[in-house]
């Protein structure tokens, strides 16, 4: 695995950790991470009361890479919808499901100690 691939993976994991903290603060329980299906994966699966949320997390480092929400294209939306059917089949969940996008923007700090 290349250095760039490892950095992207760590950035994504850090974003998912931050998103999980945010959602827990809103009363959601994170029940699964990186739920894999034929169409791709769902970053976080959360539950609050009688509702489930399938959450896509987009993390960007610095403003030069665009806003996180810009990365959610039609292809990813279709993949998430396809994953919903597989999630229901795997878990037996028949209650309401919502799709959520959590965008995380991180700033790069240069040598702060100078």
Domains annotated on the chain, with CATH: 3-106 (3.40.1350.10)
- CA distances from residue 28 to 18, 50, 55, 97 in whole angstroms, order as listed: 13, 11, 11, 13
Q: For 33-78, how does the pLDDT look when each residue is reduced to its tens digit (9 = 90+)?
A: 999 999 999 999 999 999 999 999 998 887 666 777 777 788 888 8
In the chain, % of residues over pLDDT 70: 91
CA pair distance 32, 47, nearest whole angstrom: 10
pTM: 0.85
Predicted confidence (pLDDT) at residue 7 exceeds the cutoff of 90: no
Provide the token pair at 41: 């994966």
51 or 8: which leads in pLDDT: 51
């Amino acid at each position: 695995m290349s250095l760039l691939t490892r950095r992207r993976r760590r950035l994504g994991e850090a974003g998912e950790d931050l998103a999980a903290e945010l959602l827990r603060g809103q009363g959601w329980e994170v029940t699964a991470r990186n739920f894999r299906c034929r169409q791709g994966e769902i970053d976080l699966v959360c539950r609050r009361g009688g509702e489930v949320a399938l959450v896509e997390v987009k993390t960007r480092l610095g403003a030069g890479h665009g806003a996180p929400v810009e990365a959610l294209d039609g292809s990813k939306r279709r993949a998430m919808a396809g994953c919903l059917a597989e999630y229901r089949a795997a878990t037996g969940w028949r209650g309401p499901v919502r799709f959520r996008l959590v965008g995380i923007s991180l700033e790069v700090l240069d040598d702060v100690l100078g």
